Amino acid sequence: MSSRPLSPSSRAEEVFNDFQREVLAEKAATLGRAGKALEAALAKLRGAGPDEDRDALVQAAADAAHVYLIQREVCGIHGLGAPLEDFGVPGEVRVRIGVRPAEAVKGT
């Protein structure tokens, strides 16, 4: 069996396909990391003691949820309801997704 060299267009297509696979793998890995960060923020919120700043924990969970939802969109996965249900994101966090506290907005 003889191996034929690839034509320039076939080689370009192969390189492009390899690149596409790498991009998809990185998107998936980033989505996984964002999901883990959301899980960690929600766990910290759920385990918060009375001495902890609940407002800051809610905001941290909302920020993590926002990053996760954006990454889902980047991956081409659309819709908000199901992932928020799957993660058990409480209403107090949902209403703050994508919202910045007034102090944060003034500082930018």
**pLDDT at position 60, please?**
97
Q: What pLDDT, on a 0 to 100 scale, did the predictor assign at position 99?
A: 93
**CA–CA–CA angle 87, 72, 91 (5° rounding):** 35
pLDDT at 4: 63
CA geometry: angle 41, 36, 24, nearest 5 deg: 140
Which CA distances in Å does 87 have to 3, 40, 57, 68, 102?
51, 11, 16, 11, 27
Coil/strand/helix, residue 92 = helix
For the chain, the residue count is 108
Q: Residue 62 carries which DSSP code?
A: H
- Read off the pLDDT of residues 46-74 as tens digits, 9 standing for 90 and up: 999 999 999 999 999 999 999 999 999 98
pTM comes to: 0.78
C-beta neighbour count of 33 within 10 angstroms = 13
Query: Is 90 exceeded by the pLDDT of residue 101?
Result: no
